[in-house]
């Protein structure tokens, strides 16, 4: 790019349209982190000449080769000791994007700084020295990055030049990291072999690693899709202050934390629960029709309702939690250890509340993610705790909302920020919680919403009623075969219909469930809820599940409603099913390879009064389908 051929309008347009990516890098000097940043800045032509000259001077003074670390290590103490103490922010841009690098120290004693840098990042670059493989430090960085909710990870395997650009080394490290990262909550993870020193695959593609056909680091940073990481669904507007410049104006100032709000929207003020409508969205640059994150706006309402700093505006059908007690993952950031039951200040959005930490469940070792019983948290330790609050927080889970789900803890005596907390779901990660609470939703703040569309209207639109045909029976009894044929017939005849099949559901919705009695119960409960939703939408559901327990089927009947629950028993005898053994499971079960197999090592409780019995050993598939169709017509589900 030369001075002559720059079109200023184009450049301004580019700079104006460019979006922003914030990313973190962590590691010690030895990982080559500073070299990498220097390389990115240098190859993007983002280091000023006088800075480069100063760098040369400083490097010479310290008797080092040109040391890019001196660019980011801005403090005297850091330069003298050759370490990074605190987060440094660096800025660079390409025609596609603006970048903010939060360059964070990787050592254990700087975990808090790493968390600080990670809190606002969209992406984490995890640097690994190809010669040393996955070290504790990389694991710590990865764990903290995932804890702080960074959705995108790049594992940059550096110093490939020192391992002869070996594919095998790259693959080994990759496998090693994969086995660790499987335990983390990471949405998007890619691996790039680089040499920051030589510039391979950083900005420019390397010709030394023909085996690698992926992208360069910069190209990935420029193109990784981050706009969909934002929560545009749950409208949350924490009020910063109330603007009353004159008697005629009363506006609520704040930033949209998530979701979208439009003029005319019905909104609810929390914690009061009072409702009003958005009259106007005011800005210096004129009124807006709608606003979205991270816009800073002023909202005027139709009615005079009680609303002040610390309160929140939301949509009444999409409520956050209002909690006097929250469970959090804490990163402790103070030299003074956590004191159980001591008073602290908790700041969440614009709301600062007194509270105390009442219970510390465990601490986590970031290196291996082991949970350790703990009585306190010391500087840089991470743990799970319960916080009791004097006034309720208006919050969401952190994984759902990074703005309303994050909090800081302040020591009221020293005024220091002593910890950062991420709100988690109370039941998350707890064992044997299922079943205990099956009758009541976990949150007390759920309000049932009634649709404006009644079932009659849906029936009119779709031309039939909704029902769930619940096919129960042994493995191999022919449930799936009948179910598939029935679905096909119904759809051919112009009905809205979907088959829910056991194996399919278990590979998606219920993939976390096994075959213990508890898990089978939960499996059926979820399926029943889905069938119920489908019926509510007017769709005929066919549920094909062994569902061996009477109590579970009874539960499903209650969820779906007995008037639309058509229990159909595929009563093919066990010996026929075993003879068929279409999936080879009976053989395995008899050989003792399957622990809990219905009909062999686990019970099947026959339905007492099924609507239909379908003996598939006596009927053809078409006949079986005919019988069900006749029943549906008799029940006036279809005509």
16 binds another protein (CB under 8 A): yes
Q: At its nearest, how many Å lie between another protein and the CB of residue 472?
A: 33
Of 152, 156, 139, 168, give the one whose Cα is nearest residue 196: 156
Cβ-based nearer residue to another protein, 147 or 531: 147
**How many residues form the binding site for another protein (CB under 8 A)?**
84
Binding mask 79-118 for another protein (x = CB under 8 A): x-----xxxxxxx-x----x-x-----------xx-xx--
Segment near another protein (CB under 8 A), from 279-287, 440-448, 468-476, 579-587? 279-287
Residues of span 140-179 touching another protein by CB under 8 A? none
Q: At its nearest, how many Å lie between another protein and the CB of residue 7?
A: 9
Is the peptide bond preceding residue 634 cis, with omega within 30 degrees of 0? Answer: no
Q: At its nearest, how many Å lie between another protein and the CB of residue 427?
A: 25
241 binds another protein (CB under 8 A): yes
285 binds another protein (CB under 8 A): yes
Q: At its nearest, how many Å lie between another protein and the CB of residue 315?
A: 15
Contact criterion met (CB below 8 Å) for 341 and 375? no
Pick one of 166, 243, 325, 596: the residue that binds another protein (CB under 8 A). Answer: 243
Residues of span 211-230 touching another protein by CB under 8 A? 227-228, 230
What is the Cα–Cα distance from 260 to 272, expressed in whole angstroms? 21
255 binds another protein (CB under 8 A): yes
415 binds another protein (CB under 8 A): yes
Helices 136-147/111-118 angle, 10° precision: 40
Helices 479-492/621-634 angle, 10° precision: 60
Pick one of 59, 82, 108, 120: the residue that binds another protein (CB under 8 A). Answer: 120
Q: Is 41 exposed, middle or buried (0-12, 13-18, 19+ CB in 10 A)?
A: buried
44 binds another protein (CB under 8 A): no
Q: At its nearest, how many Å lie between another protein and the CB of residue 108?
A: 16
Cβ-based nearer residue to another protein, 401 or 521: 401
Of 269, 255, 259, 370, give the one whose Cα is nearest residue 311: 269
Contact criterion met (CB below 8 Å) for 602 and 546? no
What is the Cα–Cα distance from 23 to 123, expressed in whole angstroms? 5
Segment near another protein (CB under 8 A), from 162-170, 312-320, 346-354, 463-471? 346-354
72 binds another protein (CB under 8 A): yes
Pick one of 215, 376, 399, 417: the residue that binds another protein (CB under 8 A). Answer: 417
Three-class SS of residue 451? coil
Cβ-based nearer residue to another protein, 109 or 562: 109
The DSSP result for 567-625, as a single string, is EEE----HHHHHHH-TTSHHHHHHTT-SSS-BTTTB-----SS-SEE--TTTS-HHHHH
Q: State the DSSP H helix or E strand holding residue 137, giving kind and residue range, or none if neither.
A: helix 136-147
Of 233, 164, 221, 229, give the one whose Cα is nearest residue 193: 164
Q: At its nearest, how many Å lie between another protein and the CB of residue 88?
A: 5
253 binds another protein (CB under 8 A): yes
Helices 136-147/167-181 angle, 10° precision: 50
Cβ-based nearer residue to another protein, 98 or 526: 98
Q: At its nearest, how many Å lie between another protein and the CB of residue 325?
A: 20
402 binds another protein (CB under 8 A): yes
Pairing verdict, β 468-472 and 540-544: parallel
208 binds another protein (CB under 8 A): no
Return the number of other C-beta atoms located less than 10 Å from residue 96's C-beta: 16
Pick one of 65, 207, 213, 284: the residue that binds another protein (CB under 8 A). Answer: 284
């Amino acid at each position: 790019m030369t001075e002559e051929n720059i079109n200023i309008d184009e450049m301004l347009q580019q700079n104006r349209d460019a979006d922003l990516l914030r990313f973190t890098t962590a590691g010690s000097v030895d990982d080559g982190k500073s070299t990498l940043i220097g390389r990115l800045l240098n190859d993007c032509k983002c280091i000023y000449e006088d800075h480069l000259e100063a760098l040369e001077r400083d490097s010479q003074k310290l008797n080092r080769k040109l040391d890019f670390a001196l660019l980011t290590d801005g403090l005297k103490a850091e330069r003298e000791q050759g370490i990074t103490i605190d987060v440094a922010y660096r800025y660079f841009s390409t025609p596609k994007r603006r970048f903010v690098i939060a360059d964070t120290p990787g050592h254990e004693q700087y975990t808090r700084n790493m968390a600080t840098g990670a809190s606002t990042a969209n992406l984490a670059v995890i640097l690994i020295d190809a010669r040393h493989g996955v070290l504790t430090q990389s694991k710590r960085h990865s764990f903290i990055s995932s804890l702080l909710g960074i959705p995108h990870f790049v594992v940059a395997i550096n110093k490939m030049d020192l391992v002869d650009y070996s594919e095998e080394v790259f693959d080994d490290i990759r496998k090693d990291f994969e086995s660790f990262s499987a335990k983390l909550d990471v949405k998007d993870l890619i691996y790039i072999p680089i040499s920051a020193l030589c510039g391979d695959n950083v900005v420019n593609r390397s010709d030394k690693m023909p085996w690698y056909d992926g992208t360069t680091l910069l190209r990935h940073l420029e193109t990784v899709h981050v706009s969909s990481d934002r929560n545009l669904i749950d409208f949350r507007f924490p009020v910063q202050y109330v603007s009353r410049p004159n008697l005629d104006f009363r506006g609520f100032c704040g930033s949209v934390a998530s979701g979208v709000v439009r003029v005319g929207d019905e909104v609810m003020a929390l914690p009061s629960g009072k409702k009003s409508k958005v009259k106007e969205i005011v800005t210096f640059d004129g009124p807006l029709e709608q606003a979205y994150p991270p816009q800073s706006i002023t909202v005027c309402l139709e009615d005079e309702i009680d609303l002040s700093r610390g309160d929140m505006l939301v949509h009444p059908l999409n409520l956050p939690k209002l909690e006097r007690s929250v469970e959090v993952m804490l990163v402790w950031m103070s030299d003074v250890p956590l004191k159980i039951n001591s008073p602290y200040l908790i700041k969440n959005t614009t709301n600062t509340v007194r509270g105390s930490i009442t219970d510390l469940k465990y601490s986590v070792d970031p290196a291996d993610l082991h949970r350790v019983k703990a009585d306190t948290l010391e500087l840089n330790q991470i743990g799970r705790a319960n916080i009791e609050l004097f006034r309720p927080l208006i919050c969401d889970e952190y994984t759902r909302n990074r703005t309303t789900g994050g909090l800081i803890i302040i020591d009221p005596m020293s005024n220091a920020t002593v910890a950062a907390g991420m709100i988690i779901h109370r039941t998350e990660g707890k064992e044997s919680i299922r079943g205990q609470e099956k009758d009541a939703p976990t949150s007390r703040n759920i309000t049932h919403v009634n649709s404006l569309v009644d079932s009659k209207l849906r029936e009119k639109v779709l031309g039939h009623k909704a029902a769930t045909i619940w096919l129960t029976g042994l493995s191999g009894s022919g449930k799936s075969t009948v179910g598939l044929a029935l679905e096909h017939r119904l759809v051919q005849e112009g009905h809205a219909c979907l088959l829910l099949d056991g194996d399919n559901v278990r590979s998606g919705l219920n993939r976390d469930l096994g075959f213990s009695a508890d898990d089978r119960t939960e499996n059926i409960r979820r399926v029943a809820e889905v069938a119920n939703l489908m019926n509510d939408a007017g769709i005929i559901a066919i549920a094909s599940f062994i569902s061996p327990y009477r109590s579970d089927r009874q539960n499903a009947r209650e969820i779906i409603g007995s008037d639309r629950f058509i229990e159909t028993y595929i009563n093919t005898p066990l010996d026929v099913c075993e003879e068929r053994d279409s999936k080879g499971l009976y053989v395995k079960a008899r050989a003792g390879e399957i622990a809990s197999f219905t009909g062999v090592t686990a019970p099947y409780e026959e339905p007492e009064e099924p609507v239909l019995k379908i003996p598939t050993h006596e009927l053809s598939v078409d006949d079986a389908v005919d019988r069900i169709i006749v029943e549906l017509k008799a029940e006036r589900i279809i005509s």
